Structure 1
Amino acid sequence: MTQHGPVHPQWPARLHVVTGKGGTGKTTVAAALALALAAGGHRTLLVEVEGRQGIAQLFEIDPLPYEERPIATTTDHGEVRALAVDPERALLEYLDRFYKLGAAGRALRRIGAIDFATTIAPGLRDVLLIGKVKEATTRTEDGHRAYRAVVLDAPPAGRVGRFLNVTAETARLAKVGPIKSQSEGVAALLRSPMTAVHLVTLLEEMPVQETADTLRELADLRLPLGKIILNGAGPPMLPGESAPVTRAQLRAGLTAAGLPADPATVRGLHAEARDQLAREELAARLRRELADLGRPMVELPFIPGGVNRAGLGALAAALTPPPADG
């Protein structure tokens, strides 16, 4: 595994935070990006923090434990590992590392101290979750990066700003000690060139609007913006600047093709053509709105029948197209 080379020229960050409105396919995109960045014999880490086990469902494997384990390989010997970060286990790890509580720390689970600790320090849970991601991103083995890149399947767009900024809030609340150091270290990573926050969207009005709102929020928080990833995109079915087709044209076309041209058939086809033209006009407008946001945009194809392992490979290929000749 070659983890010491440069990061990918099209995806130069080492920590890729993938978010988007619920239902846009952000987990699928995060998984495809992890596969894409593993190509060439590299190792990447795919992380989830919401306890949904979305990665396990996508790859059709058993629920992920709180440990990094291989879940996929690429045809050129790259490897994707995955980790589901559990806040309780992260807190125990934190207590053991900084306070050497050992078995006493593990006993805290039995008396509910985990919930107590994260209640009295509201931002601590997210600091610990992102802290685990930071550790993996910056970890070295034998003088080289353990991972070429870490891809975080983050909370949805409506919550991601608060999630990523909570480390800065906690750093202000904790004046001294390991919590302050942990928070400051995480906040520094999240605002450095090592990180990029990518937004997944669809050509639908609500996801596009939420993408615009989230970009503004992240910019206000001084978090590094990455790419807009347009998921499930497809080429227009009708040529550009299409004029509405008339019923007379439909009738003539059906007749020329030797197909039924009765009034009911013509009426139904006319309604379908009108609706399709309206959908494509909307899609064209939404594409212009996304382009006006001023961020690099990558389009992923629609995968009929849902995404399986082969579909993930197709999405990974679309995320890293080969360089242009010359």
Structure 2
Amino acid sequence: MSRLHVVSGKGGTGKTTVAAALALALASEGRRTLLVEVEGRQGIAQLFETEALPYEERKIAVAPGGSGEVYAVAIDAERALLDYLQMFYKLGSAGRALKKLGAIDFATTIAPGLRDVLLTGKACEAVRRKGKDGRPVYDSVVMDAPPTGRITRFLNVNDEVAGLARIGPIHNQAQAVMRVLKSTETAVHLVTLLEEMPVQETMDGVTELRAAGLPVGGVIINMVRPHLLDGDDVREAAGGSRAAVAQALSQAGLGGARRGGHAERLVEPLLDQGREHAERLALEREQRTELTGLSLPTYELEFLGDGADLAGLYRLAADLRKQGVAEEGA
């Protein structure tokens, strides 16, 4: 069962919302989950309607049922680098002096690879950390990761660092991080919509992750809209008859079907909506077929018409649990 869940997705697919819902779903039956933010957007704090997350782990929610807990942390690259300087080189006060001089910010800005090493390293440390009883502090760690377009490089950066720094603590740390990221403890989940561009980016992302030897978890289809019409109704909507629609409106008491009447004025807008709905269903079927070809577990989350507020998060978490996420470890 996976313990580190990396959630990525094309921009606009709702990956932060899905990551938050997944954390809630995994924190059940007394389990504890850590939700990690690495992009500095404070999206998790907004979703859980709480103040900005600090660089420390803080409880932000209780799981459905009340027995599990969700903690969250916003990992800051500068603070993480100070931690590493102290951990590996005992540069506590010297590291703080470097920060005052702006050297820490300079280093993490000009070397984006270093920033990714620090972010992934802190998340993996949370996975490996054990309490006094020898048990993991967190049963699951969920990372709201960068978008699909750069997720493989983000996760694989420690392999590059380990190759550059062939000895010493940095090499050892990079190898330790990659042992977690490329193990069965990790699952990289991709969030998509049933639209052509997000699905194509998801498929490309899966190909890149597999080529890099990174473990792909599942595909989470977000914002799934309900099917208002099925079967024969869809076919009829696609090639709707003006006369049939006008007659149906008239029978429903919406005015006569005479030209210029109330029912007559509703015919074209209804036919347009019917055709658009039929076209959307056809497109969604095509995209589902593409995703099925990936041979990965697939989960679906409903479209939240009122927006992704806290109540909506709990609904999505319940949907994920019903689909077996908690039992399968996604």
Q: TM-score, normalised by structure 1?
A: 0.92
The answer to whether structure 1 residue 36 and structure 2 residue 31 are counterparts is no
Q: Could you tell me whether the CA contact under 8 Å between 1:38 and 1:79 is conserved in 2?
A: yes
The answer to whether structure 1 residue 257 and structure 2 residue 247 are counterparts is no
Matches within 5 A, 1:1-326: 12-74=1-63, 75-118=65-108, 122-141=112-131, 142-240=133-231, 242-243=234-235, 244-260=239-255, 261=257, 262=261, 263-321=264-322
**Which amino acid is the alignment partner of residue 91 of structure 1?**
L
- Deviation, 1:249, is 1.4
In the alignment, structure 1 segments of 5+ residues that lack a partner are 1-11
Q: Could you tell me whether the CA contact under 8 Å between 1:20 and 1:156 is conserved in 2?
A: yes
CA distance in 2, matches of 1:136, 1:322: 27
Range moving further from structure 2, 256-265 or 87-96: 256-265
Q: Percent identity between the aligned chains?
A: 58
CA distance in 2, matches of 1:121, 1:36: 36
**Which amino acid is the alignment partner of residue 211 of structure 2?**
D
Q: Could you tell me whether the CA contact under 8 Å between 1:19 and 1:157 is conserved in 2?
A: yes
Count of aligned pairs? 312
Q: Could you tell me whether the CA contact under 8 Å between 1:127 and 1:182 is conserved in 2?
A: no
Counterpart for residue 4 of structure 1: none
- Deviation, 1:21, is 0.2
CA distance in 2, matches of 1:322, 1:300: 10
Q: Could you tell me whether the CA contact under 8 Å between 2:77 and 2:108 is conserved in 1?
A: no
CA distance in 1, matches of 2:323, 2:195: 29
RMSD: 1.4
4+ aligned runs moved over 4 Å, structure 1: 119-122
Counterpart for residue 328 of structure 2: none
Describe the SS at the equivalent of 1:144. coil
**Which amino acid is the alignment partner of residue 182 of structure 1?**
Q
Describe the SS at the equivalent of 2:173. helix
1:220/1:106 CA distance change after superposition, 3 Å? same
1:116/1:255 CA distance change after superposition, 3 Å? closer
**Which amino acid is the alignment partner of residue 50 of structure 1?**
E
**Which amino acid is the alignment partner of residue 266 of structure 1?**
V
**Which amino acid is the alignment partner of residue 247 of structure 1?**
R
- Deviation, 1:76, is 2.6
- Deviation, 1:59, is 1.0
Range moving further from structure 2, 243-252 or 192-201: 243-252
- Deviation, 1:293, is 1.7
**Which amino acid is the alignment partner of residue 15 of structure 1?**
L
- Deviation, 1:264, is 2.4
1:291-313 C-alpha deviation (Å, 9 max, x unpaired): 12211100011111101111111
CA distance in 1, matches of 2:110, 2:173: 17
Describe the SS at the equivalent of 2:13. coil
